[in-house]
Amino acid sequence: MSARSQPYLTPEQYLEIDRAAEFRSEYYKGRMYPLGDPPEAMAGGTYRHSKLTHSLGRRLGNALEGRPCEVSGSDIRVSSVSGGFYSYPDLVVVWGEPRLLDGRKDTLLNPALIVEVLSHSTEGRDLGLKLAQYRSIESLEEYALVWQTEPRVEVYRRQPAGRWLLSEFIGLDAVCHFESVNAGISLGEIYDKISFDEGAEF
């Protein structure tokens, strides 16, 4: 079912449906949006997407070991306090005690860093809708986009007076600095064993 043909759903209705569904959906202003086609949503995307997510998540976890923060994968749902937007980021880092929506403990309200690995099916939302909605989360300090087509990471950082600064890290020799968690990770590590040969699948 397309988002346009759906009846309006409250956040509570969305959560009830999503928690019982076979595949995950995101939510914005009364509408549900499946994460790609159902098979992709259930499988979590392509092999390359999975490799990049795992590689960066592992290196973030190593960099933050012994510090009061945690790295979570795409099983955790994220929402703004207003409840008008729910999403499943590829990676989330939270400082200190996580604030969770309710007793189900599957929706995080206070991420400090959100990472999305771009793919063909989600690129438009990641660069448009999600960028705008994530910025409304008061705790969020950085939003990072990891490209699959080239070694490239873009990081949007919150600045004073509500401004956001874009920093780009390009090439395997570049080091991506995540100021929100005081960690630097080289793109050579993030893209370890990733091939950019023509015809490689994304």
User: What is the rounded CA–CA span in Å between residue 23 and residue 121?
Assistant: 15
Confidence of residue 52 (pLDDT cuts 50, 70, 90): very high
φ, ψ for residue 160, nearest 5 deg: -60, 155
Answer yes or no: are the C-beta atoms of 160 and 176 closer than 8 Å. Answer: no
Q: Which residue has the higher pLDDT, 33 or 178?
A: 178
Strand pairing class (152-158; 142-146): antiparallel
Looking at residues 105-123, what average pLDDT do you find? 87
Q: Going from the N-terminus, what domains does the chain have, and what CATH number goes with each? A: 45-190 (3.90.1570.10)
Residue pLDDT, tens place only, 145-164: 999 999 999 999 999 888 99
Percent over 90 (pLDDT), the chain: 62
User: b or e along 183-195 (b: 16 or more beta carbons within 10 Å of the residue's beta carbon)?
Assistant: bebbbeebbeeee
Q: How far apart are CA 76 and CA 67, in angstroms?
A: 20
